Homo-oligomer: A and B are copies of this chain.
Amino acid sequence: MDDIDRHIVTALVADGRMSYTDLGKLIGLSTSAVHQRVQKLEERGVLRGFRAVVDPEALGLSLTAFISVKPIDPAAPDDVPDRLKDLVEVEDCYSVAGDENYILKVRVGTPGELESLLARIRTDAEVSTRTTVVLSTPFEARMRGTTPA
């Protein structure tokens, strides 16, 4: 994991479809060399994969919210993530320190869908919830590939 690797990672975060040829020219290495490095970065788990970035609005998911979650029975075994993983509306699930146990980020289309999602979360995971609705998203999913430029 040297500077060249960091440079590669940065470039691929910016453009995941960049060809190895272009990548090589960009960082001053042959096509094969960058190819080998990318493969090793994937093997080591540094690069987890490549994915398309989709506009949630275009999919009709115009309402984003954070839901803080706390078990109703603190003594019960904690398998909240397991119980929530089938709810496709739940995009992120973080276990956190603090008053609540988990923070979820969810995306739905309408307030009505949010309401029924909350009901499902409460019953499926046996938790109480505190919801914060997102009004706008100044920026999101920025990634510093460790190389500032």
What residues of chain A have their CB less than 8 Å away from a CB belonging to chain B? 1, 6, 9, 12-17, 44-55, 58-60, 64, 66, 81, 85, 88-98, 103, 132-146, 148
* Contact, CB under 8 Å: A13 / B54: yes
In the docked arrangement, what's the CA distance between A127 and B62, Å?
28
A17 cross-chain contacts in B, Cβ below 8 A: 16-17, 50
Quickly give the copy total for this chain. Answer: 2
Q: Known: A1-B58, A88-B142, A93-B137. Contact between A47 and B51, CB under 8 A?
A: no
Closest to A99 in B: B132
What's the Cα separation between A50 and B133 when bound, in Å?
Answer: 28
Contacts of A143 in B (CB 8 A): 51, 54, 91
Q: Is the CB of B51 within 8 A of A15?
A: yes
Provide 7 A-B residue pairs closer than 8 Å at the C-beta atoms, listed in order of the A residue.
A9-B52, A12-B51, A16-B16, A44-B58, A46-B58, A85-B138, A95-B135
Determine the distance from Cα of A17 to Cα of B29 in the docked complex, in whole angstroms.
21
CB of B145 within 8 A of CB of A132, answer no
CB distance from A16 to the nearest CB of B (A): 4
What residues on B are CB-neighbors of A145 within 8 Å? Answer: 54, 59
